[in-house]
Amino acid sequence: MAKREFVIMKICFIVHRYPPYPGGSEYYVQAMAEETLSRNHSVTVITDMHQGNQNGILVTSNRNLLFEEFFDLIIVHGAHGIPPQYQLPIQDFVLLNSNQIKSKILYMIILPKESESSLFGLKHCDFIGCSTIEDWNFIEQLGFKHKSFEIRHGIDPKTSLKKNSFRSLLGIEKNELMLLSCGGFWPHKGFEELANIFIESNIEAKLVLTGYDVSRIGNIQNHENIKIVHIEDKQKVIDAIADADYYILNSYEEGFGLVLLESSLNKTKWISRNIAGAKLLNKRGLGKTYETKKELIEILKNLNNINIDINYCYEYVLKNHLIKNTIDDILSLIGG
């Protein structure tokens, strides 16, 4: 069989902001964009907040490109679904104009919600990307399963593995039990609740909470075994994950929960509220999930009895949830 001739495609990613601004969505879209570029395709990112072109990728806020240029595929990372105070967020702008844009559009569902922009995008976009059980339930309920496809969330191993010691920065000994949770200290991350649960469980351990906006710490109690650390550098977050004994995701909302993949890739056991990616991964034999505060307290009190095969978790992520898997799924929609 003759080898198919390689065709350079023009791919455009849509996200609310782009690194060096920190955040899970920001890093995820960056990983997708750079993986696509590594395959010798042309890559553009249109975003509301950025600091210019990066690593060979055109990064711009010029929305006119959506109408002036033809892209083989435009990938919209979720929808804000929030009434705009000044300017419509870029994802919602694309979704609400999806019937006017000539390029094919993939709408990646991130935290499914029935907003005006989301519903319009579901109707007019060419493809709908689902990655969690909630995504598929949402799409099926609204009658759009016929144009929905699995887009696996993935991480880049080049930027998701430990480089430096994190424990030494905080004076936590190797023989001390270290629990970790990372985020932006946003209320939905559940840090305050997690701190209270940790205190109530009265276990001998250190709880480390990290984030890039410590102004949102709220009413987290001062406690000798709770350490709050300001981190904006993604590599330091990875180092922290790799050095932890357990990662705890106590969020009430997540698009997927890429930290769970990063934990598994670094052979760190994870415990999560039963939402988003945690629900999916747990059904496939990864991690430990809980529904209630009482369940989490019992888990913390009985950590030695948790049966998590970390080598299986590592191999599963390595095979199914790297960024190359994500881009394979995306480009397959247009024959790439």
- Single-letter amino acid, residue 42: S
> For residues 89 and 81, is the Cβ–Cβ distance under 8 A?
no
The pLDDT confidence band at residue 227, using thresholds 50, 70 and 90, is very high
Q: What is the mean pLDDT of residues 34-41?
A: 98
Note the Cα 271 to chain centre separation in Å.
16
Render pLDDT for 230-257 as a digit per residue (tens, 0 to 9).
998 999 999 999 999 999 999 999 999 9
Closest by Cα among 267, 271, 256, 117 to 207: 271
Confidence category of residue 85, pLDDT binned at 50, 70, 90: low
Alpha-carbon distance of 16 to 181, in angstroms, equals 24
Above pLDDT 90, what percent of the chain?
87
**Which pLDDT does position 286 carry in this prediction?**
97
Q: Which amino acid is at 297?
A: I
Give the integer Cα–Cα distance in Å for 208 and 186: 16
**pLDDT tens across 153-193, in order?**
999 999 999 999 999 999 999 999 999 999 878 888 999 99
Least confident of 65-74, 213-222, 287-296: 213-222
Q: What gap in Å lies between CA 118 and CA 109, rounded to an integer?
A: 9
Asked whether 282 and 270 are in contact (CB, 8 A), the reply is no
Instruction: Supply the pTM of this predicted model.
Output: 0.94
Q: Cβ neighbours of residue 304 under 8 Å, at least 6 residues apart?
A: none
Backbone angles phi, psi at 303, to 5 degrees: -60, -35
Distance (Å, whole) CA 336 – CA 326? 13
Cβ neighbours, 10 Å, residue 288: 20
Domains, the chain: 10-154+321-334 (3.40.50.2000), 161-320 (3.40.50.2000)
142 falls in which pLDDT band (50, 70, 90)? very high
